[in-house]
Chain A
């Protein structure tokens, strides 16, 4: 599908995401102006007071944005999921350019003008409002311009914490290996950045060239632009469904959402595409989402930090108990085990006669391996695997994004990867699963995890989730993943078809 047809067929969604994006950037830039300009003025007039703040803004700028989200998520007030935390992060990034240019603008004023103002009898405050601010304004606007353009870029990452915006398409496109969808997010974002840049450049020239319009007019104009953006909040939904940021999770997120919508008639808000286990778990614990699908092994080792255990029943029971202590209910397993799969190219497997991980051991020293960030770190990931099977590679394994790892294997960038057993790209790229003959990997049974209070308040939601118990086979999951990843179908549509089919089977079967 070409970009143009995609944009045309998703007009309403593109527009909604664009508006979300504009809102994120608009609100955060406005707040950064409200904080940054006074701080900059203070820093310029009283360097000793202002210097530490400028230093802090400098430090904030150097923190990578995903790490910043990680720091902020667990915090009260600013933390949690969605637009709020994204706006806080965007504000932190926008502060530095605004503070810097405000300081530069004030310091750049001809000292003769300051002397003239003082000698004419201006008080320090009059000097500020009548001389320093107006004369620094072109420079301040230049800073706002830089900040908002940076903001448009950074806001794409906000999708990782469920804040929406054009980053949705970029992340979704990456996880579905769909470059058209990536472009559908990236191109409008670039156009937005360019037009903001142009608009503010116009303002900047206007201020620099002639006398400035009255400050209250400017403020009123800015408020006029921003107020409706800040006001457009989505109506509160009864149930908020989350998912992590890979295809299977998005499909499962849709599956839960649609099941709840069909069976209970409640309004469901989708907060899919959350950036990883940590963010999804924090979101659930803080009440930013009510339910998402977790895997028992992931919960056991990554969430609760238990030692690796390969007994499926024991893991499920332990996880159920530990979640219960946090007010979270583990629903019955959906029916498939998305364990790690060690994968090689199908051609290699056939040529070398590889069937198990043990078979690969002899070739590993000539191979390069690629693993996801989580797999490299986790106790049940690479460190244990290497020990259990005595696997050693030509070079330390490369850390790769999960969405790119299958293609990297297919394109010979690496020779062995760890993927998900249910990934649709396995058959799409003709990859081979090496059997875990020594039972190293723990079970990864997919289970919906939900906030207990929500289940108590809405028993129908509990029934809806329970009715999915054992209904999603590994084969069904792999087919749905493939439909999205390889055939570029819409996850919502794939989930809808599956549910319709379930209902037909259910009616005929019972």
Chain B
């Protein structure tokens, strides 16, 4: 058997125990190939965000290894590891004391790019996520709408051209229309950039819309890992409840008028 695409991220028998709360992840193994989009779906508290934080070293596994680009996170210089991984949070985490362009140019500046190169890059990124630099670059982030903030968050995560992008409920706080719009742009951007992306969501529809592979987390275990089409037919009792809203939707769509 030969690997067509090398593994960008590998979870090898990873467990994570948070002292008071107990076991959050229980022997999870998952291989994420370079250039693919993997969605992690599950209820709140299933351990989705913990998996992301294990990738960029915000957390370290209690047992097992998380391997990024061939090296265990324990062996990485954490600053170097994190600067090579884009991170988009649900709450965005834009810095209120910095302008839009300064937020986007942050990682390049941490990597000691010179100022004009960082700014040029920031403007390209704003363009990429559909925010006109001429209009938005100098604004305060306080003046942005929710959707605009998410776009800036994505632009910031992509600015240093990291091979890996982690997205934690990136579109969770948005209205459905804006969300659909951003899904569309996400696919367009990914079509061009081909990043390795791990995206966490509680919404199976979003996972189906964006991901090549969907992993379902339940009580700290990986209940299923499959492409959307295969997963849609799953009869696993831990997967089916998450599919239920989709079934309702197709029932409505399929019903004769």
Residue B83 interfacial (CB < 8 Å)? yes
Known: A116-B93, A119-B56, A119-B58. A211 touches B98 (CB 8 A): yes
Cβ–Cβ contact A120 & B82, under 8 A = yes
Given A115-B89, A126-B110: A121 and B83 interface contact (C-beta under 8 Å): yes
- A121, A134, A135: the one contacting B82 at CB < 8 Å is A121
Show 17 residue pairs from A and B whose CB-CB distance is below 8 angstroms, ordered by the A residue.
A115-B58, A118-B58, A119-B58, A119-B85, A119-B87, A119-B89, A120-B106, A120-B107, A120-B110, A121-B80, A121-B82, A123-B79, A126-B110, A131-B95, A135-B95, A135-B96, A211-B97
Task: Verify A118–B89 contact, CB threshold 8 A.
Answer: no
Interface size class of A (residues with CB under 8 A): 10 to 19
> In whole angstroms, how far apart are the Cα atoms of A90 and B81 in the complex?
47
Judge if B221 is at the interface, Cβ distance under 8 Å.
no
Pick from B84, B85, B87: contact of A116, CB under 8 Å: B87
B82 touches A119 (CB 8 A): yes
Bound-complex Cα distance A134 to B92 (A): 19
Q: Is B82 touching A118 in the complex (CB atoms < 8 A)?
A: yes
Shortest Cβ gap from B97 to chain A (Å) = 5
* Contact pick for A134, options B58, B81, B85, B97, CB 8 Å: B97
Q: Which of A98-155 contact B (CB under 8 A)?
A: 112-113, 115-123, 126, 130-131, 134-135
Closest beta carbon of chain B to A62's beta carbon, Å? 35
Say yes or no: A120-B83 contact (C-beta < 8 A), given A112-B89, A134-B97, A211-B97. yes
Known contacts A120-B83, A121-B84; 9 further A-B pairs (Cβ under 8 A) = A116-B94, A118-B82, A121-B80, A121-B81, A121-B83, A121-B110, A123-B79, A131-B95, A212-B97
- Bound-state CA distance A130–B98 (Å) is 9
List A contacts of B99 (CB < 8 A). 211
Interface flag for B91 (CB, 8 Å): yes
Chain A residues near B148 (CB, 8 Å)? none
B140 interface residue (CB < 8 Å to A): yes
A11 at the interface (CB under 8 A from B): no
Q: CA A313 – CA B87 in complex, angstroms?
A: 90
Taking the closest CB of chain A, its distance from the CB of B71, in whole angstroms, is: 16
Contacts of A131 in B (CB 8 A): 95
Return chain B residues, CB-CB under 8 Å to A122.
79, 110
Considering the complex of A and B, which 7 residue pairs feature the smallest CB-CB distances, nearest first? A116-B93, A121-B83, A121-B82, A119-B87, A112-B91, A134-B97, A112-B93
Which residues of the other chain, B, contact A117 by a CB distance below 8 angstroms? 93, 95
Q: Which residue of A lies closest to B141 (CB)?
A: A211
